[in-house]
Structure 1
Amino acid sequence: MMDAVERESMEYDVVIVGAGPAGLSAAIRLKQLNADLSVVVLEKGSEVGAHILSGAVLDPSGLDALIPDWKERGAPVKTEVKEDNFLVLGPQGKLRIPNWPMPPLLNNHGNYIVSMGNVCRWLAEQAEAMEVEIFPGMACSELVYGENGEVKGVVAGEFGIEKDGTKGAGYEPGMELHGKYVFLAEGVRGSLSKIAIARYGLDADSDVQKYGIGIKEVWDIKPENHNEGSVTHTMGWPLGGNAGGGSFLYHAENNQVFVGFVTHLNYKNPYLSPYQEFQRFKHHPDIAPIFEGGKRVAYGARAITEGGFQSIPKTTFPGGALLGCSAGLVNVPRIKGNHNAMLSGKAAAEAAYEAIEAGRSGDELPDYDKELRDGPVGADLKKVRNVKPLWSKYGLVASLVLGGIDMWAASILGRPILGTIKHGKTDAESTEPARRHKEIKYPKADGKLSFDRLTNVSFSGTNHGEDQPTHLKLKDTDVPTHINLPKYAGPSQRYCPAGVYEFVEGDDGAQRFQINGQNCVHCKTCDIKDPSQNITWCVPQGGDGPNYPNM
């Protein structure tokens, strides 16, 4: 245990953790409302956008509300969707679902294929022009509390802790950044957001949160295989009945394709590997020709919140609020959350501005939580709240029929006809013992269309200092080998898309659990899916992790 640390502090009106679409939108809106407000954004990535990964087809409604003249300002939002394709795959063929029976809310007309990393870089430029202070490479490792138990700030920029937890020769204690309000916009399963949710019981009245793992590659393909503006989503093979999920193929500009695969993390079979399912998907006879003669240029992964409206926790706590994916605002059937993240940032900023104008600080912002649920974000999510639990309970075919009817009813009546269906178990609790399942034999990567994990990880640009403690903490070091290996066949070696976890046989013949933390791409899947809930994902020192160029 380290001694108590003396830190300098800096005071702001609003402290924002995370330079994603939610955090940057909040910063911009605050400055729009009052240019004299002091606002700081702290980003753990080496630069803004370095840790941003999304499909992404962007619904511009959030951008329209925040910066109406974004086109004139040169936002990197240019490739409008020209065609929508919905496919159900079998092992050797496909069934195309016509567009006409699809609920209107699934129509991508007016949406754009974008790199959200580049969109966030542009948003950061807009914010800095308004004198928002943005500090990349600043991981926020602790919440700071005030005299009445409210969140009054964060600890950021602590460096130089040795592997054994002691302070090294180059130790820097970091700083405390205090604010009248603190916004947590860390993305999915944020470490500080987890602490706030637990400390203040924010999830006491909400359903359990559900998640997926999204794995993505960027490819440069031949011009003759490219169809700019084309959007394709698939379901079915290769997952079949093993798990829910599906793929996306987005033809962006410059002969690039964004290809990704989402696996719902409530799957039962511990032998399933979301990464291997993605690699297998690219070999489908209707998919493989797109990539012939092309080359993969980037790789990454991240978790996705899938619980929907009923899983949104209380989003305010004394001294701050949860924004964007920290609150879980993804519309699952639309595979979109960036617009809601931006709208949440805007709403939080407006609530904080009103409070500061009234001379308040350190209290709750109930107007924000109300706006989130009753405003455009709530309207977007309420209509689709049953799609995910229907899929989980009844499978693909039934969910397509029942979910489609429910979404059509919501489009016409303004609400689903099935009420609100509960999710049930957490994703960790959904994992079943290995004895109930057969091991899945995955084909070997061919190095052209499919790749082994470590080769792909090298395309994420991820890097972690070797001298620091691992940021992947085990509550009990015996659990991996004494429980997870014999009971669940060691699922961490398969659910992780970066090869962080493996079981290694020691000289004595016993299995040893090895954590290769330097491989981590910060997807948080281990924190979510570990059946014993024995792994806690924490922030490494600032700047570490992936360095995505245009995810």
Structure 2
Amino acid sequence: MAATAKNGAIAPAQFPPPVDAVAEFVAAPEAGEDERIEVGVAIVGGGPGGLAAANRLLQLLAEDPELLEQLGEVPVAIVEKGKVCGAHNLSGSVMKPGPLKELFPDFDPKANPAVYTEVEDDAGVWLRNDKKSLTLKPTPPNFANKGNWVISISQLCRWMADQAEEAGAYVLTETAAQKLLVDGEQVVGIVTGDKGRGKEGEELGTFEPGMEVHAKATVLAEGNWGHLTGTAVKRFNLAEGKQPPTWEIGAKEVWKVKKPFGKVVHTFGWPASPRKKDAMAGGGWIYPMGEDQVSIGYVVPLHTPDATVSVHDLLQTFKSHPYVKDVLEGGERVAWGAKAIQAGGLLSQPKLTVPGAVIVGEGAGMVDMARLKGVHLAIAAGKIAGEQIYQQLKAGSNDFSGYERAIEDSLVGKTLREVQSNRGLLDSHGLTVGAALSGLDFVTKGKLPPGKPTLHLDKEVAVAVPDKPISDLYPQPDGKYYFDKLSSVFITGNATRDDAPNHIRIEKRVPRQVAEAWKWMCPAGVYEIEDDQPKEGYVDVTVNYTNCVQCGAITARGGRLTPPEGGDGPAYQVV
């Protein structure tokens, strides 16, 4: 029987998913020379970190024809599960441009379709209730963004992939990295996922088996939920002595608007509860995307005890505030997406290297949650990874531990050290105290208050439907201004086959409280409680896995997302 708190709350962690990551997702090399793919460097993930690593490595190899020849016909391979690089990438996104300009000195933001606006004005806004707002003067320093760029991360990744391909990379899109290839105590590549299996795993007429991809170096740059990154952390015990990772989830819409909106705005307060016990230290944003578009979104932690917390519906509620309505009035929604966010930062960052492999980007907690930025850190880390791998391959070694030291001494390490306590302080207190303490932490660069907050796994937080749930605030969808989850998934271009195998692992019979938390949590409506299920006690959860936009939230909240067939999932264009 599940342990139940006094208010009837139950922790999802009591119902672990049927998965053994090390047993299922680690393999020893078996394929003969004619049955495997040999590459120099395998990069898992076509996001900003992986693509930065590929481009920097190829820049160095262009000046070293001898090493380039030694790496064979495919010196660099990028393995990306989306239809194209960028198809599964989503961010706000306001980016610090420095690392990108270092990697591409000739980058022209005015001529690149990924860059919409150079920020000229910014603001922090407190939404005091559902009607009132207060713009803070001056703008809080962590919300200062003048000189940064508003970008489309999906478009930026497409552009970076083009640069890598022109430089000699082999880009394997629609290809899932299913297993980590391990020989003894070193990573020697990956195994790609099968294609063309049916719902029960049977081979269809289009079946193609996965392949072993052998590499002298492997870069794990999978983004937030990191299927193979998580597997490597467990296999090599990389998180020893670290606090557990914590997660948040964001939902985003892009609107075509009638009037220009000229400033980057971050909000806090309503509709999230300000009370400590509700653990809802969330907030919203409004970013200009050129003259006639805006990005609007909302972020909330994934450890809220109220089972009805839904980031998608909180975003719809956020849009009902007069401050937001004034921006969107008369406009039209043109895009939507959702993604979980690694929020533990340096406190939960695992060891970044094992023999033969390095971890880059958000999968390694490289997100500045105080400033709400991670793209520039992923690019900076990818560049460092490319340089360190080049040096070690040149020396005939697969010991990449120098990458770890280089990260510590870089912009990435400096930033993460300064803000390592920031989000934990905000989450550990109510809005007023949490904002004050996290603000003090920010301006003193982590020196005050003393000590470090304690992080807890999101899935260990007990959940229940309270007497007055946050869902009472959610507006009814009208298909014009307020939208439901399924119509939102539709406009992502989600291409998952109806007869594809289920890639989501959960315990399907759980207490109603846990099922409700999963149902509300998911922005894509994947988890459903049928009408014939009891109102109390255990229920059967229906998994509509073809809706999945691979946000990763279920991995934080008690399940396990695994890679779907390559090419499945969303096809983000402008988010």
TM-score, structure 2 normalization: 0.87
Q: Aligned equivalents of 2:173 and 2:372: distance in 1?
A: 28
State the 1:167 CA deviation: 2.5
Task: After TM superposition, list the pairs within 5 Å mapping 1:9-408 onto structure 2.
Answer: 9-35=36-62, 36=68, 37=71, 38-71=75-108, 74-75=111-112, 76-77=114-115, 79-89=117-127, 90-99=129-138, 102-103=140-141, 106-146=143-183, 148-222=184-258, 224=259, 226-228=260-262, 230-241=263-274, 242=278, 243-361=280-398, 364-408=399-443
Q: Aligned equivalents of 1:279 and 1:73: distance in 2?
A: 32
Q: Aligned equivalents of 1:161 and 1:334: distance in 2?
A: 43
- Identity, % of aligned positions: 35
Q: 1:172-229 CA distances to partner (integer Å, 9 max, x unpaired)?
A: 112211111111111001111111111111111221111110100111110x2x224x
Letter in 1 for 2:547: N
RMSD: 2.2
Q: Equivalent of 1:417, from 435, 448, 466? A: 448
Task: After TM superposition, list the pairs within 5 Å mapping 1:416-455 onto structure 2.
Answer: 416-434=447-465, 438=469, 440-441=471-472, 442-455=474-487
Corresponding residue of 1:463 = 495
Corresponding residue of 1:514 = 542
Q: Aligned equivalents of 1:73 and 1:358: distance in 2?
A: 40
Corresponding residue of 1:494 = 520
Q: Aligned equivalents of 2:569 and 2:221: distance in 1?
A: 18
Q: Aligned equivalents of 1:420 and 1:323: distance in 2?
A: 27
Q: Aligned equivalents of 1:257 and 1:516: distance in 2?
A: 31
Q: Aligned equivalents of 1:217 and 1:504: distance in 2?
A: 29
Q: Is the 8 A contact 2:343 2:365 kept in 1?
A: yes
State the 1:74 CA deviation: 4.1
State the 1:389 CA deviation: 1.1
Q: Look up the SS of the partner of 2:430 in the other structure.
A: helix
Q: Look up the SS of the partner of 2:251 in the other structure.
A: strand
State the 1:132 CA deviation: 1.0
State the 1:274 CA deviation: 1.9
Q: Aligned equivalents of 2:221 and 2:539: distance in 1?
A: 39
Q: Aligned equivalents of 2:475 and 2:546: distance in 1?
A: 26
State the 1:254 CA deviation: 4.3
1:25–1:493: structure 2 CA closer, same or farther, 3 Å change rule?
same
Q: Aligned equivalents of 2:468 and 2:261: distance in 1?
A: 41
Corresponding residue of 2:530 = 504
Letter in 2 for 1:42: V
Q: 1:35-67 CA distances to partner (integer Å, 9 max, x unpaired)?
A: 225001011000111111010001012112211
Q: Is the 8 A contact 1:384 1:416 kept in 2?
A: no
TM-score, structure 1 normalization: 0.91
Q: Equivalent of 1:526, from 526, 532, 554? A: 554
Q: Aligned equivalents of 2:110 and 2:179: distance in 1?
A: 37
Letter in 2 for 1:432: V
Indicate whether 1:538 and 2:538 are aligned: no
Letter in 2 for 1:16: I
State the 1:6 CA deviation: 6.1
1:344–1:436: structure 2 CA closer, same or farther, 3 Å change rule?
farther
Q: Look up the SS of the partner of 1:450 in the other structure.
A: coil
Q: Aligned equivalents of 1:423 and 1:436: distance in 2?
A: 29
Q: Is the 8 A contact 2:370 2:442 kept in 1?
A: no
1:11–1:335: structure 2 CA closer, same or farther, 3 Å change rule?
same
Q: Look up the SS of the partner of 1:513 in the other structure.
A: strand
1:55–1:439: structure 2 CA closer, same or farther, 3 Å change rule?
closer
Once structures 1 and 2 are overlaid, which stretch shifts more, 30-39 or 87-96? 30-39
**Unaligned stretches of 5+ in structure 1?**
none
Corresponding residue of 2:5 = none
Q: Look up the SS of the partner of 2:225 in the other structure.
A: coil
Q: Is the 8 A contact 2:489 2:524 kept in 1?
A: yes
1:176–1:109: structure 2 CA closer, same or farther, 3 Å change rule?
same
Q: Look up the SS of the partner of 2:428 in the other structure.
A: helix
Indicate whether 1:547 and 2:571 are aligned: yes
Q: Aligned equivalents of 1:125 and 1:251: distance in 2?
A: 26
Corresponding residue of 2:15 = none
Q: Is the 8 A contact 2:189 2:213 kept in 1?
A: yes
Q: Is the 8 A contact 2:43 2:219 kept in 1?
A: yes
Letter in 2 for 1:210: T
**Unaligned stretches of 5+ in structure 2?**
1-23, 63-67
